[in-house]
């Protein structure tokens, strides 16, 4: 059970208005954490806050260095940072425009760099903590069709995660990455429904996992809860695959 596993911890979750981020906010709050939910979608944050009044919500762009710095300056302390926000850029090398490439880098890589860097003083002053980064099995682990920019950025996330883990282990800061395969998030559902044959597309995405289905946001949130808790205190620099066997 998740009850009380994060009692007394202050946790920040990005991409909190929907999908995995939203489910993680719910899980962290249920586990006793004080959660700061971050997203650009103020409407989605408002709905989340109505459901869980104990959380604090913050609507800003995590690719904006000044906004990220100001947010962290207002935190009294920090124990857990889950960098969950990201985008899926569709297309191969020949289809990838410079704008697509730069957007993927900005949202999937630069935002995590900014968030982690701004978190360091708070984590260090509190004696350490846990950083969790959202990566993917589509990265340095493996590839998928038409995911050139996405795979490149998620590979970068794994590289950043290992670097931070090594450099800051001595001051008690852990850094790990979660690597899912297909997850039934609202954005995934929107992409499927926009395809010419949504039923065939859903079957295709599900068949990529030997277990025969995509994951759920709640399943990924449970892993984030473990990495946020003291149960994982000896784990750092790891990338944890949770993919229904997709990359066996």
Q: Which two tokens stand for residue 227?
A: 């990495």
How far apart are the C-alpha atoms of 79 and 94, rounded to whole Å? Answer: 42
Helices 42-51/19-30 angle, 10° precision: 30
How far apart are the C-alpha atoms of 225 and 227, rounded to whole Å? Answer: 5
Which is it for the CA torsion 79, 162, 18, 42, positive or negative? positive
Other C-beta atoms lying within 10 Å of the C-beta of residue 75: 15
In the block, which residue shows the tokens 């425009």? 97
Could you give phi then psi for residue 30, rounded to 5 degrees?
-65, -30
Of 150, 168, 226, 234, the active-site residue reads 150
Residue 234 annotated among the catalytic residues of the structure: no
Q: Could you list the active site residues?
A: 150
């Amino acid at each position: 059970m998740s009850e009380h596993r994060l009692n007394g911890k202050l946790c920040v979750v990005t991409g909190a208005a929907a999908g995995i981020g939203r489910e993680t906010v719910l899980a962290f709050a249920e586990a006793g954490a004080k959660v700061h939910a971050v997203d650009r979608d103020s409407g989605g944050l408002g709905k989340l806050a109505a459901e869980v009044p104990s959380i604090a919500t913050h609507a800003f762009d995590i690719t904006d260095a000044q906004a990220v710095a100001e947010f962290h300056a207002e935190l009294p302390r920090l124990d857990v940072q889950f960098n969950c926000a990201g985008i899926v850029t569709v297309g191969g090398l020949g289809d990838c425009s410079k704008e697509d490439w730069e957007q993927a880098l900005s949202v999937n890589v630069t935002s995590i760099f900014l968030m982690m860097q701004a978190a360091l003083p708070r984590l260090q002053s509190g004696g350490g903590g846990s950083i969790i980064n959202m990566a993917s099995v589509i990265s340095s682990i493996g590839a998928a069709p038409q995911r050139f920019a996405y795979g490149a950025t998620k590979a970068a996330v794994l590289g950043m995660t290992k670097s931070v883990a090594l450099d800051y282990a001595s001051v008690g800061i852990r850094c790990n990455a979660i690597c899912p395969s297909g997850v039934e998030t609202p954005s995934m559902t929107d992409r499927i429904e926009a395809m010419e044959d949504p039923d065939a597309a859903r079957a295709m995405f599900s068949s990529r996992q030997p277990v025969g289905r995509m994951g759920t946001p709640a399943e990924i949130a449970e892993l984030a809860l473990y990495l946020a808790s003291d149960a994982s205190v000896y784990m750092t620099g790891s990338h944890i695959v949770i993919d229904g066997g997709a990359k066996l």
